[in-house]
Amino acid sequence: MNGTVLIWLIASTAVFVSANGVLKSYATSGDWRVLVGALLLFCLGKVMIVQVMRASGLGVAIALSSIFQLMAVMVVATVVFEERPTALQLSGIVLGVVAVAMIAWPKGGAV
């Protein structure tokens, strides 16, 4: 994975995390305009992830995006919404980090 792809991945993750934050606000407020804002952010994130798909393929792009979002949303949920993950959930996050390393590892096993 090159630097440009990583930037697209991080940027799309930021958009998806923002969309999830807005969606959490919709869950508490019920205002349909907030829902529309969240959906627009999700659409923008999907458009951005297409750049990652072009460079690394569908499977790798979606796997990386999912794990990056998982980790980022857990941080936001913990810091902003004061949710506390269980030990089992934290173990899953650690496994997600290992999965990202394995997926993004350069071909041929060289570092």
pLDDT in tens, 92-108: 888 888 887 787 776 66
Q: Distance of CA 77 to CAs 61, 68, 85, Å?
A: 24, 14, 9
Instruction: State how far the Cα of 59 lies from the Cα of 48, in Å rounded to an integer.
Output: 16
pLDDT in tens, 82-91: 888 899 988 9
pLDDT, position 1: 67
pLDDT in tens, 17-66: 999 889 988 998 888 999 999 999 999 999 999 998 998 888 888 888 88
Cβ contacts of 86 within 8 Å, gap of 6 or more? none
* C-beta separation of 80 from 21 below 8 A: yes
Q: Is the pTM of this model over 0.85?
A: no
pLDDT, position 23: 92
Cβ contacts of 73 within 8 Å, gap of 6 or more? 16, 17, 20
Phi, psi of 18 (to 5 degrees): -60, -45
Question: Per-domain residue ranges for the chain?
Answer: 3-109
pLDDT, position 80: 84
pLDDT, position 11: 94
pLDDT, position 19: 93
- pLDDT-derived band at 109, boundaries 50, 70, 90: low
